[in-house]
Amino acid sequence: MLLSGAEIIMECLLREGVDVIFGYPGGAILPTYDAMTRYPQIHHVLVRHEQGASHMADGYARATGRVGVAIATSGPGATNLVTGIATAMMDSSPVVCITGQVTRGAIGSDAFQETDVTGVTLPVTKHNYLVADITELAYVIREAFHIARTGRPGPVLVDVPKDVQIEKIEFVYPEGPITLPGYQPPASAPDTDIEAALHLINEAERPVILAGHGIIMSGATQQLRELAELGGIPVSLTLLGKGAIPEDHPLVLGMMGMHGEATSNHAIQDADLLIALGMRFDDRVTGNIKTYAVNAKKIHVDIDPSEINKNVQVDVGISGDLRTVLTQLIPGVEKKQHPEWLGRIRDWQEDDDERDILHHETTGRLLGAQVINDLWRCTGGNAITVSDVGQHQMLEAQYYPHQRPSTMITSGGLGTMGFGFPAAIGAKFGQPDEEVWAIVGDGGFQMTMCEMATAAQENINVNIAILNNGFLGMVRQWQELFYEERYQATPMYSPDFVKLAEAFDIPAMRVTSRDQIEESVAFARSINGPTLIEYVIEKEDIVYPMVPSGADLHNMIRRPKPGEKITNG
């Protein structure tokens, strides 16, 4: 059949199983938007800013495991996608971005709205393309999806000149397997590596599993649980690993790292074996590399061989698909319980409980931790929560335990403020039957709050929970602890969020005391469409524990017990 390049794009998207795309039209991508009218099977969501499109595609991908798609025009349309592309790259999220480009003859002439977007995005994409020949377009689209979803997932950008979109050819869909020389993601591990890992696991007396995002992406949650239960091995979670194992499991230590559970950090530092699964030892997890788990042997399993020994030197490095590797490992793991080790961990957990703010008297104050924990209780812990970046993000990680994978979505590696709300919209499109809450701060929300218009236009059932403390909270916390309370550029004026929501015809409510939280959740859940709840919380609260940047992982600033002063360690 005779198709234009624009129609080939849509035809390929349809055959890849795409059901929704997030985008914003413009001159260089207009032929593809015109082609959309002939493909009603694919729903287009009109965003209010292209950054929102890339975040929505990312949220869709994380919630579903499928490839999310964003589309934009050339120049500023394409560059506005970049922050979302970089976010997806850092967190290994499968996204395909399609951008229009000026006509082939105008490339390099500084034409209107021309930008070398492949050059701009080269460092923040897994791969990118400039399609100069219409005969290659369908192959490129297929390759883009294949690269985005296989191996270590990531974003791929396809830049298509306007005249390629207009040109027509006789189209035959390229069937058959995709083969890319040099791109062969590993699967199973060599027997010698498995044997070396098993030797360390079976000899260890104080083992700890470090469970990362790769567990969820590889579908290895069941294998993780089998390994932990068989070997009696406690499990520490990365931020993006939350949900990889039910967090009420007795072997789960909670989150590790800068704002992780003190128990988790102490266990890592005192372990004699770390089994790192699908995580990358970033600085927020390790603290000072020189003092990180110095007495522990280390096993690292990751599908990306470049991660092995990149940040932390390990004794056994295995590059392979995590589910496959764990399936190879589990039959050789000896059944153990480690009672002394688990007893020591229980002592740390009891100390953590005494310091927990939920167990302290807080009369007259509404704290972020209370909001998150009550939200967890009122939703039964079953919602998909999509958090922005800041104090509320860490409180969500601490006070909203997750029982299922892909129900906690956030920007981890890049720490992108403004991610939460648009990503929640994308997640809801991907999982329409799930309850979705965007948990945001007053600062990050203002970066992408224009997407309230998108939510209203689509009548998408996303609940927005704003934790409003009148500050850029996490930056203010650093200023309090390390800059003698010089609050430069962190006090923040905000609009009346309730009135703003009402201007978009979004039902809204303001909460100022804890006894209103249950009512607010019921209010949000009663409405079939977007809602906004503003929680006015304590202005100068601190997220504890905290490992200062570059400090030893065990040298934490702890919340004092009642009557204690703040101490480190």
Q: What is the CATH number of the domain that holds 59?
A: 3.40.50.970
Say what the alpha-carbon torsion angle 136, 141, 143, 148 is, to the nearest 10 degrees: 150
Q: Do residues 24 and 45 make contact, with C-beta atoms less than 8 angstroms apart?
A: no
Structure tokens at 526: 């009663």
What string of pLDDT tens digits covers the 569 residues of the chain?
899 999 999 999 999 999 999 999 999 999 999 999 999 999 999 999 999 999 999 999 999 999 999 999 999 999 999 999 999 999 999 999 999 999 999 999 999 999 999 999 999 999 999 999 999 999 999 999 999 999 999 999 999 999 999 999 999 999 989 999 989 898 999 999 999 999 999 999 999 999 999 999 999 999 999 999 999 999 999 999 999 999 999 999 999 999 999 999 999 999 999 999 999 999 999 999 999 999 999 999 999 999 999 999 999 999 999 999 999 999 999 999 999 999 999 999 999 999 999 988 888 899 999 999 999 999 999 999 999 999 999 999 999 999 999 999 999 999 999 999 999 999 999 999 999 999 999 999 999 999 999 999 999 999 999 999 999 999 999 999 999 999 999 999 999 999 999 999 999 999 999 999 999 999 999 999 999 999 999 999 999 999 999 999 999 999 998 877 766 55
Residues 271 and 414 in one domain: no
In the residue annotation, 143 being an active-site residue is answered as no
pLDDT at 457: 98
Per-residue CA distances from 196 to 204, 214, 295, 322, 336 (Å): 13, 21, 18, 16, 18
Residue 354 lies in a domain: no
In the residue annotation, 10 being an active-site residue is answered as no
Residue 238 belongs to domain spanning: 191-348
In the residue annotation, 429 being an active-site residue is answered as no
In the residue annotation, 136 being an active-site residue is answered as no
Residues 136 and 165 in one domain: yes
SS3 546: strand
The single residue listed with the structure tokens 């804890």 is 514
Residues 39 and 135 in one domain: yes
pLDDT at 567: 60
* Helices assigned H by DSSP within 67-220: 76-79, 82-90, 117-121, 137-149, 162-166, 191-203, 213-217
Residues 305 and 404 in one domain: no
- Domain edge (last residue) among 301, 319, 348: 348
pLDDT at 164: 98
pLDDT at 362: 82
Residues 262 and 391 in one domain: no
The single residue listed with the structure tokens 């794009």 is 9
Residues 92 and 221 in one domain: no
Residues 334 and 477 in one domain: no
Catalytic residue (choose from 113, 403, 431, 516): 113
Residue 393 lies in a domain: yes
Catalytic residue (choose from 126, 162, 242, 298): 162
Q: Do residues 537 and 367 make contact, with C-beta atoms less than 8 angstroms apart?
A: yes
Residue 303 lies in a domain: yes
Residues 272 and 328 in one domain: yes
In the residue annotation, 112 being an active-site residue is answered as yes
- Domain edge (last residue) among 137, 170, 203: 170
The dihedral region occupied by 432, where left means phi > 0, alpha psi between -120 and 50, and beta the remainder, is alpha
Say what the alpha-carbon torsion angle 378, 380, 383, 388 is, to the nearest 10 degrees: 60
What is the C-alpha to C-alpha distance for residues 176 and 137, in angstroms, rounded to an integer? 16
Residue 475 lies in a domain: yes
Catalytic residue (choose from 16, 50, 247, 451): 50
Residues 203 and 327 in one domain: yes
pTM of the model: 0.97
Catalytic residue (choose from 89, 217, 452, 474): 474
What CATH number is given to the structural domain containing 296?
3.40.50.1220
Residue 356 lies in a domain: no
Q: Do residues 280 and 310 make contact, with C-beta atoms less than 8 angstroms apart?
A: yes
Residues 59 and 130 in one domain: yes
Q: How many domains does the chain have?
A: 3
Residues 335 and 482 in one domain: no
Residues 488 and 412 in one domain: yes
